[in-house]
C-alpha cells in the first residue's frame, strides 16, 4: 500500500502537481511520510518536506536519515525551522539543534519559545549518548499529597504538552522523586486517595549521566515503559520513554555489527558512494598495513616456500579457519558484553571456555585437514605440519577473540573496535608462523 | 549492589542456609533473581529456583537463559510447574509449554486452569516467530457503546488479569476491532461519553500470521506501546506489548550478527564448551571445504609460485583486503534489510553503489599496494600485477557482498546466512585467480 502511495507521490513530483502532493503528504502518518522522503530521489526530498505543515514536519524530521535531514536543514528557511522546532518535544528539538551549525543554532535558540530554549540549552550540556541526552523534560510530576481529582485536573491542564503519559511521577516538596503512579491505578482510585497512597514506591530511576547502553539494559531487564531520570540528589529531571530506547537498541546493534568490520554508523545502504568510500578507506588502509605485517611474517619463510611450493597452496586453509573461528569467538563475546551477560565476575570463565572451544575444534578440524593433506600429497609429515598449525591457530583464535575485547572493555575502549582486522591479523600471523615454521623444521 | 546480593546468595548456598536464601530471593525483583540464577554455578541453579514462590517463579522462568531453563524444567516437580504456569500470562505460558517434552506438556495442559489451557492450545498453533506467537490474549476489549463509567468498572473487574493496560481496545458487536483508547483520554472524559466518541479510529493493527521481524518494524516506525492482533476478518485476538518487541529486536540482532559468522543463536557466552563445539563444528567443516576450494585454485598456479616464491608472500595482502571489504558490504546490506531500509524498489541502486565503492576503494588501495610492491621489490610489473588483482578483488567484493544477500532474500532465504564464509571464499578465489593468473602471464 505504501508502495502505491510512493508511486503516486513520485508522479505528482514529476508532473509538478504540488497542490495535490501537499494535500496527500499532510494526510499520511508522519512515519510513512518520513520513509517516503528517505527513498525519494535526492532532488525531490527537500521540496517535499517543505510542503508539510509545521506539526507534521516536526514529527517527520527526526525520522529522516541523517544525510537527508542534513540536506533539508541546510535548505530550509530559518523562520520555518523555528516554527517546526517549537512544535517538537524537548528531546527531539535538542537533537536537531545539536546538528545545526553553531551560528544557526544560536539564532534558532533565540527565536524559539523562551522556556523551551532554556530547557534545550540545559539538555545540550548532557552527553548525547547518556540518559540526559535521551530524556525529555515534558513529564507529569505531582506532589505526594495531591488527591485523585486534583491529579486528574493537573493532567488535564498539561495533557496537550505531554504525549503518551501512561505514568505520573510523584515528588516531595524538594522535587525529589519518591514514587511512580500508573494511570490505571489513578483511574480506579477512590476520590479521597492521595498520590502517595496509590503510588508504587519501588520506582526504578536512572542518574542523568548514565550511558545509554546501560539505560537500554534497564529497560530490557525490567520490562518498563517509561523511566524517570534524576540527578545525584534524586531530583526529578525528566523521563525516557521506551520508543526512544528501541532506537538506542537498534543504533547500538548496528554500531556493534559495524564496528566489528570497521564501518561507521552513518554508512547506510543509501549513503552516497563517495561518502562511503571516504568512511571505509581509513579502515582499509589500516587493513593494508596489517596485511603487510602478515606478509612480512610469510616473507621470513620465503626460502622454505621456494623449495616447497605446495605450502603456498595450503596457506589459505590455515588462514581461513583460524580467521573465521576467531571472528566467531569475537562475535559471541562482543554480543555478550552488549547484552550485559558478561560481567567482570565471570570473565575468566568466558575466556577459558572460548580457549577450550578453539582447542577442541582445532583438534577435530586439524585432524581432518591432516588426513586430507596426507591423502592428497601422500606425505604424513606434511599432514602433521598442517594439522598442528591449525590446532595452534584455532587455539590462538579462541584466546585473542575473547581476550582482546575483554581487555579493551576493561580499558573502557569499545570492545566492538577489536575488529575483525586485528583478530584476523593475529590469527594469520600465528597460523602462518606455526605452519611455515614447522614446515621449515620438519619438512626441509 | 547486585554483585553484593550475588555474593550473599552464593554464601547462603555454600553454607546451606536455605531459609535465609528463600527469604532473600523472594524479596528481590524477579529480573534480578533471574540474572543471579543465570550466573550461579550450575549445581545451585535449580535449587535456588525451587525456593521461589509461584508468582515470583512465574516471572523469573521466562527471563532465564534457555539452557538454564531447560535444566530447571527437567528437574522441577510437575505440580509445582502447573502452579507456576497458572500464574503466567498466556504468551509466556505458551512459550514454556512449547519447550516441554510432548508427554509432559500434555499432562500440564490437562492440569492447569481450563480456560487458560484452551487459550494456550490455540496459541501453540501459531508460528513462534509470528504475531500470533508473540501475542497475549489478556486484553481489555470493550464495546463501542459503553459509557465512561461502565468502562472504568469493566477495567476494575479485569484489572488483576491484565498487566500494563495503558490502552483499551474498542470492538463492535462482532468482536471486530474498530478503535483504540488511551487510558489518559478515558481519565479525562466526561461521564456520558461513549467509547466510540473518545477512541482513536486510526488504530494500527497486525494480522496474526505476520512475521515477528515485520511486527518489530511496525513498533519501530510508529513508536507505539501496544499493538492489537487480528485475524483476516479483523476480529480482535490479542495484543503485543513493546517489552516483548525489545526481546524480538535483541533476538533478531543477535541472530543476524551470529548467522553472518555461522553461529547459532543459542551459542551464548556461557553455553557449555562441548555444546558450543557441537554448534560451531558444522560451519567450520563447511569452512574447511571452502578453504580447500580456494586452495585448489591456488594449486593451479603452483608452478608459478615455485618459480616466483615472493608471490606467496604477497598472497595474504590480496586475500585480506578483498575479504574484509566484502564483509563490509555484506554487513551494510544485511543491516539495511533487517531495518527495513532496503526494499525491492531500491535494490539496483544499492548494488550499483556497493560496486562503485568497491571499485573506487580498490583503485586507491590497489595503487598504494602497487607502490609498496614496487618499492620493496623494485619491480614495476609486480606492482601492476598486485594492484590490478586488488582492484579486481575489491570489485568482486562489492558485487558478491551485495548481490548474494539480495538474491537470497528474493529466494526467501535469510540473507544473513550469506555468511562471511561464502563471501570470503568468493573474494579469495577471485583475488588469487586474478593475482596468480596475471603473474603467470606478465611475470613468468
Least confident of A222-226, A228-232, A253-257: A253-257
Q: Which of B91, B76, B90, B77 is nearest to B37 (CA)?
A: B76
SS3 state of residue A411: coil
Find, in chain A, the residue whose alpha carbon is nearest to that of B317.
A291
**Per-residue pLDDT, B418:** 67
- C-alpha B181/C-alpha A183 separation (Å) is 13
CB contact under 8 A, A253 and B257: yes
**Per-residue pLDDT, A266:** 78
Q: b vs e for B320-334, b when ≥16 Cβ sit within 10 Å of the residue's Cβ? A: bbbbbbbbbbbbbbb
pLDDT category at A162 given cuts 50, 70, 90 is confident
Task: For strands A226-230 and A236-241, give the pairing.
Answer: antiparallel
Asked if A258 reaches chain B (Cβ–Cβ under 8 Å), the answer is: yes
CB contact under 8 A, B284 and A254: no
Delineate the domains of chain B, giving CATH numbers in brackets.
Answer: 2-129 (1.25.60.10), 141-257 (3.10.580.10), 273-442 (1.10.357.20)
Tell me how crowded residue B4 is: count the other CB atoms within 10 A of its CB: 8
Q: Which of B62, B70, B23, B28 is nearest to B45 (CA)?
A: B70
- C-alpha A411/C-alpha A405 separation (Å) is 10
**Per-residue pLDDT, B65:** 85
Distance from CA of B247 to the nearest CA of A (A): 7
CB contact under 8 A, B246 and A250: no
Query: Smallest Cβ distance to B222: which of A31, A268, A274?
Result: A31
> In chain B, positions 176-205, which contact chain A (CB-CB < 8 Å)?
182-184, 186-188, 202
Predicted ipTM > 0.90: no
Q: Which of B127, B130, B132, B336 is nearest to B213 (CA)?
A: B130
- C-alpha B412/C-alpha B207 separation (Å) is 20
Is residue A303 within 8 Å of B310, Cβ to Cβ? no
Q: Which of A243, A248, A182 is nearest to A215 (CA)?
A: A248
**Per-residue pLDDT, B148:** 93
**Per-residue pLDDT, A418:** 66
> In chain B, positions 108-167, which contact chain A (CB-CB < 8 Å)?
152, 155-156, 159, 164-166
- C-alpha B139/C-alpha B239 separation (Å) is 7
pLDDT category at A16 given cuts 50, 70, 90 is very high
Secondary structure letter of residue B348 according to DSSP = H
- C-alpha A325/C-alpha A368 separation (Å) is 16
Is the Cα torsion angle A256, A261, A266, A267 positive or negative in sign? negative
Query: If DSSP states are collapsed to H, E and C, what string results for B64-122?
Result: CCHHHHHHHHHHCCHHHHHHHHHHCCHHHHHHHHHHCCHHHHHHHHHHCCHHHHHHHHH
- C-alpha B151/C-alpha A39 separation (Å) is 43
Is residue A64 within 8 Å of A110, Cβ to Cβ? no
Whether A340 shows a pLDDT value over 80: the answer reads: no
CB contact under 8 A, A222 and B331: no
**Per-residue pLDDT, B1:** 57
Q: Which of A365, A289, A267 is nearest to B320 (CA)?
A: A289
- C-alpha B48/C-alpha B34 separation (Å) is 10
Query: If DSSP states are collapsed to H, E and C, what string results for A51-113?
Result: CCCHHHHHHHHHHCCHHHHHHHHHHCCHHHHHHHHHHCCHHHHHHHHHHCCHHHHHHHHHHCC
SS3 state of residue B143: strand
- For the segment A375-389, the average pLDDT, to the nearest whole number, is 92
Q: Helix, strand, coil proportions of chain A in percent (round to 5)? A: 70, 10, 20
- For the segment A173-194, the average pLDDT, to the nearest whole number, is 94
Whether A436 shows a pLDDT value over 90: the answer reads: yes
Q: Which of B295, B296, B431 to mutate to test the interface with A (most CBs of A within 10 A)?
A: B295
Burial environment of residue B211 by CB neighbours within 10 A (0 to 12, 13 to 18, 19 or more) = middle
Whether A86 shows a pLDDT value over 80: the answer reads: yes
Whether A104 shows a pLDDT value over 70: the answer reads: yes
SS3 state of residue B47: helix
Asked if B245 reaches chain A (Cβ–Cβ under 8 Å), the answer is: yes
Q: Helix, strand, coil proportions of chain B in percent (round to 5)? A: 70, 10, 20
Helix (H) or strand (E) segment spanning residue B230: strand B226-230
Query: If DSSP states are collapsed to H, E and C, what string results for B355-387?
Result: HHHHHHHHHHHHHHHHHHHHHHHCCHHHHHHHH
What integer best gives the mean pLDDT of chain A? 91
- For the segment A121-144, the average pLDDT, to the nearest whole number, is 94
- C-alpha B16/C-alpha A380 separation (Å) is 57
- C-alpha B206/C-alpha B75 separation (Å) is 38
Q: Which of B287, B293, B318 is nearest to B392 (CA)?
A: B318
Partners of B346 on chain A (C-beta within 8 Å) are: 39, 269-270
Asked if B428 reaches chain A (Cβ–Cβ under 8 Å), the answer is: yes
**Long-range contact set of residues A243-247: C-beta below 8 Å, sequence gap at least 24:** A243/A164, A243/B219, A243/B223, A243/B224, A243/B225, A243/B242, A244/A91, A244/A134, A245/A134, A245/A215, A245/A216, A245/A219, A245/B246, A246/B219, A246/B220, A246/B223, A246/B242, A246/B245, A246/B246, A246/B249, A247/B220
Burial environment of residue B43 by CB neighbours within 10 A (0 to 12, 13 to 18, 19 or more) = exposed
Is residue A326 within 8 Å of A400, Cβ to Cβ? yes
Query: If DSSP states are collapsed to H, E and C, what string results for A336-387?
Result: HHHCCCCCHHHHHHHHHHHHHHHHHHHHHHHHHHHHHHHHHHCCHHHHHHHH
Question: Regarding predicted confidence, which is higher, A253 or A51?
Answer: A51
Is residue B393 within 8 Å of B431, Cβ to Cβ? yes
> In chain A, positions 317-356, which contact chain B (CB-CB < 8 Å)?
317, 319-321, 323-325, 327-328, 331-333, 335-336, 339, 341-343, 345-346, 349-350, 353, 356
- C-alpha A30/C-alpha A89 separation (Å) is 15
Burial environment of residue B375 by CB neighbours within 10 A (0 to 12, 13 to 18, 19 or more) = exposed
For chain B, residues with pLDDT lower than 50 are none
Partners of A267 on chain B (C-beta within 8 Å) are: 332
pLDDT digits (tens, 9 = 90+) for A270-303: 778 888 899 899 899 999 999 999 999 999 999 9
Partners of B377 on chain A (C-beta within 8 Å) are: none
Partners of B260 on chain A (C-beta within 8 Å) are: 331
> In chain A, positions 56-115, which contact chain B (CB-CB < 8 Å)?
63
Asked if B375 reaches chain A (Cβ–Cβ under 8 Å), the answer is: no
Helices (H) and strands (E) in chain B, counts: 22, 6
**Per-residue pLDDT, B254:** 84
Find, in chain A, the residue whose alpha carbon is nearest to that of B28.
A202
Query: Smallest Cβ distance to A280: which of B267, B319, B328?
Result: B328
Is the Cα torsion angle B162, B168, B169, B170 positive or negative in sign? positive
**Per-residue pLDDT, A100:** 92
Starting at the edge strand found earlier in the chain, the sheet holding A206-207 runs: A206-207, A226-230, A236-241
CB contact under 8 A, A291 and B267: no
Length of chain B as a residue count: 444
- For the segment A324-345, the average pLDDT, to the nearest whole number, is 84
Distance from CA of residue B348 to its chain's centroid? Answer: 27
**Per-residue pLDDT, A39:** 84
Q: Look up residue B431 and give its three cell numbers.
A: 583475488
SS3 state of residue B289: helix
- C-alpha A164/C-alpha B225 separation (Å) is 9
Q: Which of A316, A352, A398 to mutate to test the interface with B (most CBs of B within 10 A)?
A: A316
Starting at the edge strand found earlier in the chain, the sheet holding B177-182 runs: B141-143, B167-171, B177-182
Q: Which of B88, B288, B398 to mutate to test the interface with A (most CBs of A within 10 A)?
A: B288
- C-alpha B387/C-alpha B385 separation (Å) is 6
Cα angle B66-B256-A366, degrees, rounded to a multiple of 5: 80
- C-alpha A183/C-alpha B373 separation (Å) is 71
Query: Smallest Cβ distance to B257: which of A243, A257, A269?
Result: A257
pLDDT digits (tens, 9 = 90+) for B154-207: 999 998 888 889 999 999 999 999 999 999 999 999 988 999 999 999 999 999
- C-alpha B124/C-alpha B38 separation (Å) is 27
Amino acid at each position: 500500500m505504501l508502495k502505491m502511495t510512493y508511486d503516486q507521490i513520485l508522479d505528482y513530483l514529476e508532473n509538478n502537481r504540488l497542490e495535490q502532493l501537499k494535500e496527500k503528504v499532510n494526510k499520511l502518518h508522519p512515519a510513512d511520510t518520513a520513509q517516503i522522503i528517505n527513498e525519494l530521489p535526492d532532488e525531490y526530498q527537500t521540496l517535499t518536506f517543505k510542503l508539510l505543515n509545521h506539526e507534521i514536519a516536526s514529527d517527520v524530521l527526526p525520522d529522516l536519515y541523517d544525510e537527508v535531514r542534513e540536506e533539508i536543514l541546510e535548505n530550509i528557511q530559518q523562520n520555518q525551522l523555528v516554527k517546526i522546532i517549537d512544535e517538537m518535544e524537548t528531546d527531539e528539538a535538542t537533537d536537531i539543534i545539536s546538528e545545526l551549525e553553531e551560528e544557526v543554532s544560536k539564532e534558532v535558540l533565540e527565536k524559539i519559545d523562551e522556556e523551551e530554549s532554556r530547557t534545550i540549552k540545559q539538555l545540550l550540556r548532557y552527553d548525547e549518548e547518556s540518559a540526559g541526552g535521551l530524556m525529555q523534560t515534558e513529564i507529569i510530576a505531582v506532589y505526594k499529597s495531591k488527591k485523585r481529582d486534583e491529579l486528574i485536573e493537573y493532567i488535564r491542564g498539561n495533557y496537550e504538552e505531554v504525549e503518551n503519559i501512561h505514568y505520573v511521577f510523584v515528588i516531595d516538596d524538594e522535587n525529589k522523586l519518591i514514587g511512580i503512579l500508573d494511570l490505571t491505578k489513578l483511574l480506579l482510585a477512590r476520590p479521597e486517595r492521595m498520590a502517595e497512597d496509590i503510588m508504587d514506591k519501588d520506582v526504578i530511576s536512572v542518574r542523568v549521566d548514565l550511558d545509554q547502553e546501560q539505560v537500554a539494559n534497564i529497560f530490557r531487564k525490567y520490562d518498563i515503559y517509561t523511566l524517570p531520570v534524576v540527578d545525584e540528589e534524586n531530583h526529578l529531571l525528566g523521563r525516557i520513554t521506551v520508543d526512544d530506547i528501541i532506537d538506542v537498541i537498534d543504533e547500538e546493534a548496528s554500531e556493534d555489527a559495524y564496528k566489528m568490520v570497521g564501518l561507521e554508523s552513518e554508512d547506510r545502504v543509501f549513503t552516497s558512494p563517495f561518502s562511503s568510500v571516504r568512511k571505509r578507506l581509513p579502515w582499509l588502509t589500516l587493513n593494508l598495513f596489517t596485511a603487510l605485517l602478515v606478509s612480512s611474517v610469510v616473507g621470513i619463510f620465503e626460502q622454505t616456500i621456494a623449495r616447497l611450493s605446495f605450502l603456498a597452496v595450503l596457506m589459505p586453509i590455515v588462514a581461513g579457519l583460524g580467521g573465521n573461528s576467531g571472528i566467531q569467538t569475537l562475535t559471541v563475546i562482543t554480543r555478550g558484553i552488549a547484552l550485559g551477560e558478561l560481567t567482570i565476575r565471570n570473565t575468566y570463565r568466558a575466556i577459558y571456555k572460548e580457549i577450550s572451544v578453539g582447542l577442541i575444534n582445532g583438534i577435530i578440524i586439524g585432524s581432518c585437514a591432516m588426513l586430507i593433506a596426507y591423502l592428497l600429497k601422500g606425505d604424513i609429515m606434511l599432514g602433521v605440519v598442517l594439522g598442528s598449525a591449525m590446532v595452534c591457530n584455532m587455539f590462538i583464535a579462541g584466546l585473542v577473540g575473547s581476550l582482546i575485547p575483554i581487555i579493551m572493555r576493561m580499558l573502557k575502549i569499545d570492545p566492538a573496535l577489536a575488529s575483525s582486522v586485528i583478530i584476523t591479523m593475529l590469527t594469520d600471523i600465528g597460523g602462518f608462523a606455526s605452519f611455515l615454521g614447522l614446515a621449515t623444521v620438519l619438512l626441509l
